[in-house]
Structure 1
């Protein structure tokens, strides 16, 4: 019975996302999600009031909703905070296949990311540190505790059998101030808050000949044990996106917290 409830919740959540509706259909209101967002970034976020996010540094608050109804493509180009939280991210040790334009976490408010990690390359660099990643030296941000979370990922990955963790033993990159290919949007790598794993095991929707809204399925080569470790410590996986990027993990503890609270379980899919 519990599994049936989870399946129905998952189905309803996907239907409502596809229909453009907000989160209550999968268990959480926007206020619920905003509270989890604030809790996920206590270093920078203070509270929500009057439709705006307030910051501990006393800087100008950020509007949660810009009042525009957007297509998926428009949300990618100019997301507000509400857009950023609009699609539920499924967690767990099971693979998922997203419907068209279901990219939980790929829609990002650049304005918020700049407030969390730094508004310029120089500001981000001032908060970088270097960590050891299975013999490699990687530059990542210290903001929001991302570096500490990634070290926990590394330590848990080291406990996996060598044949399982092999795709994670090499990194294709972390900090790199750049825009996403073909767009004017900054990559999360620009903020030092993402890591790409070994490209030898990677699948990427553009490499596969996909076009926006028209992407082929892929055969995953990243063991789900690796995905589960990353999700355990607040990272989402690009392999759960319709526009997939299976080597990509980014620090999004708010989406993991929302998924856990809502019980949005990847293994509950029909």
Structure 2
């Protein structure tokens, strides 16, 4: 497994200036009624503005005040290579929290009502993991586990130590982790890499490191999960369900 260091990061902040609102409809077709440049409407009638008035002039503004438009401003490169991402290129890391709260549960109590348990295969047997059932996330993660179980042992070992639901904020922020919604999973936490082990500042220039095999990554991506190893702020153990970024009208062309 190769480990990369980014010596001279690109100054490219966004490779795409805006995303297509239809990515949301395509990604969550059983949950979203419509979306355009003005608003997104869930099938239960909940309506969100596509753009909010909060400042988004700096990187810190974007990550702390993201709206639905901001979520799609960087196109995810599904199936791409292990090339280190450009400076501040984090497709999927800019999140509009109210959107996910409406889909999966507005608070801890509501989220936990939507949790079910799946069986996740391990080299020694299996473990039970709590996962959100809304939109069939549980079924997709179960299918991912079954596919990973067919990989060679040298790859499967990177799917050990799996953890899913934990109601908590992201380290050093007040933003909810995607684990709080039961739609994220971490694998091999003792052997993978996290950007904050190198630097604390969001705008620091950091080197890229990864040991997670792409054989596992591509299985996740096929089922609507993005990988934190495709972020400049790499989190190579982390996968989260984000089908809007993997919709055919939204995903970047694989290199």
Q: Same fold (TM over 0.5)?
A: yes
Find 2:101's aligned residue among 106, 114, 126: 114
Asked whether 1:225 is paired with 2:212, we answer no
Aligned to 1:63: 49
Between the aligned partners of 1:37 and 1:49, the Cα distance in structure 2 is 9
Match for residue 135 of structure 2?
Answer: 144
| Mapped partners of 1:93, 1:69: distance in 2 | 28
The separation in 1 between residues aligned to 2:103 and 2:251, in whole angstroms, is 27
Aligned residue pairs: how many? Answer: 240
Structure 1: how far apart are the matches of 2:42 and 2:135? 13
1:71-82 aligned within 5 A = 71-82=58-69
| Aligned equivalents of 1:188, 1:219: Cα separation in 2 | 22
State whether structure 2 residue 196 is matched by structure 1 residue 199.
Answer: no
Deviation track 1:146-189 (CA, whole Å, cap 9, x = no partner) reads 11111111111111101112111321x21111111110100000
Q: Match of 2:86?
A: 99
1:238 corresponds in structure 2 to 228
Q: 1:90 aligns with which of 61, 72, 77?
A: 77
Structure 1 residue runs of 5 or longer lacking an equivalent are 1-13, 24-29
Residue correspondence of structure 1 range 174-189 to structure 2 within 5 A: 174-189=164-179
Query: Counterparts of 1:113 and 1:202 in 2: how far apart (Å)?
Result: 26
User: For residues 133 and 199 of structure 1, what CA distance do their matches in structure 2 show?
Assistant: 16
- 2:244–2:250: 8 Å Cα contact kept in structure 1? no
Change (3 A) 1:152 1:93: farther
Counterpart in the other structure of 1:9: none
2:158 to 167, 177, 202: 167
CA contact (8 A) 1:176 1:189 kept: yes
Partner of 2:252: 264
Distance 1:174 1:42 in 2: 24
Residues 1:93 and 1:161: Cα distance change in structure 2 (over 3 Å): farther
Contact 2:192 2:212 in 1 (8 A): yes
For the residue of structure 1 that corresponds to 2:190, the secondary structure is helix
Query: Secondary structure of 1:236's match?
Result: strand
Counterpart in 2 of 1:17?
Answer: 14
Gaps of 5+ in 2: 1-10
Post-superposition offset of 1:48: 2.3
Pairwise CA RMSD? 1.9
Report the CA distance shift for 1:98/1:49 in structure 2 as closer, same or farther (over 3 A). closer
Q: Please, what TM-score do these two structures have when normalized by structure 2? A: 0.88
TM-superposed CA distance for 1:49, in Å, is 5.4
